Amino acid sequence: MPSACLSFALLPTIGGGEMMVVFLVVLLLFGGEKMPQLAKGLGKAVREFKKAAGDVEQEFKRALDEVPDSPPPKVAPPAPRPVVPPARIDPPPPPGTSPAP
């Protein structure tokens, strides 16, 4: 598909007549002397955008190529801690009795 058709595919409701009106309005606003400069600036902007998009695509491809295919090595689980039995606590003496020595 040509790039011109692709760019107009984004604007399906704008026809040829509407495009001619837009170009006529731009010509009236900027004049015949400014049109080449405007087109040149637009061309530079599109070129820079395509270059940046290509750079981003290359960066993604490079990042995908750097991802290792093998799974990461498994890490051994930590050793279980030894279980320490709780200290024995004697219950308090019942009320009214003297404590044992």
Mean pLDDT of 11-19: 77
Q: Per-residue pLDDT tens for 42-71?
A: 899 999 999 999 999 999 888 888 766 667
Percent of the chain with pLDDT over 90: 19
Q: What is this structure's pTM?
A: 0.42
Q: Per-residue pLDDT tens for 84-100?
A: 777 777 777 788 776 65
Mean pLDDT of 4-30: 75
Mean pLDDT of 24-45: 86
Structure-block tokens of residue 57? 């695509």
Name the residue ranges covered by the structural domains of the chain: 3-66
Confidence band of 5 (pLDDT split at 50, 70, 90): low
Closest alpha carbon to 42 in 53, 28, 26: 26
Report how far residue 31's alpha carbon sits from residue 37's, in angstroms, rounded to the nearest whole number: 11
Report how far residue 25's alpha carbon sits from residue 27's, in angstroms, rounded to the nearest whole number: 5
How many helices and strands, by DSSP H and E, does the chain display?
Answer: 2, 0
If you average pLDDT over each of 4-18, 21-35, 62-76, which comes out highest? Answer: 21-35
